């Protein structure tokens, strides 16, 4: 169920399915959601873990995730992105950092799971 929710959420945001970073994001979010309350170090723990799974370097993972996020913010659902991230994104950068993105999406998925109600769906 978690992987399906992650897949659907990334589709809504507009993270393209044809870039490798998408798969790294899915794997990272799945790991984050399975460890609630765990404070992880993105560069020392998360990137190396994902890199090991895919047989690449942690730098490859970081770069590919950044590229996938950039694609979402240039080609994705702008209205949804603004509602989703709002003022949490640094206006000078126009997109969140990898850590900001993963944290925000994970929190949003956790809230949806707890409430069993999607705050972005109209009732």
More confident residue, 59 or 120: 59
**pLDDT classification of 89: cutoffs 50, 70, 90:** low
pLDDT of residue 115: 53
> Phi and psi at residue 16, in whole multiples of 5°?
-65, 145
State the virtual CA torsion across 30, 24, 96, 44 in degrees, nearest 10: 80
Q: List, for residues 7-48, the tens digit of each pLDDT value.
A: 999 999 999 999 999 999 999 999 999 987 778 889 999 999
**pLDDT classification of 117: cutoffs 50, 70, 90:** very low
Q: How high does pLDDT run on average in the chain?
A: 86
pLDDT of residue 1: 54
pLDDT of residue 23: 98
Q: What are the extents of the domains in the chain?
A: 2-115
- Report d(CA 60, CA 66) in Å as an integer: 10
Any idea which architecture 2-115 has in CATH?
Orthogonal Bundle (1.10)
**Residue 120: is its pLDDT beyond 60?**
no
């Amino acid at each position: 169920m978690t992987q399906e929710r992650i897949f659907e959420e990334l589709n809504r945001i507009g993270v393209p399915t044809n870039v490798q970073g998408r798969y790294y994001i899915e794997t990272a979010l799945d790991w984050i959601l399975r460890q609630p309350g765990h404070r992880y170090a993105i560069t020392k723990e998360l990137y190396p873990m994902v890199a090991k799974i895919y047989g690449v370097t942690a730098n490859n993972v970081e770069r590919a995730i950044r590229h996938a996020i950039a694609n979402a913010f240039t080609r994705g659902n702008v209205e949804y992105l603004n509602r989703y991230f709002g003022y949490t994104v640094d206006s000078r950068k126009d997109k969140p950092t990898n850590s900001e993105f993963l944290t925000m999406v994970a929190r949003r998925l956790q809230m949806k799971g707890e409430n069993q109600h999607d705050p972005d769906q109209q009732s």
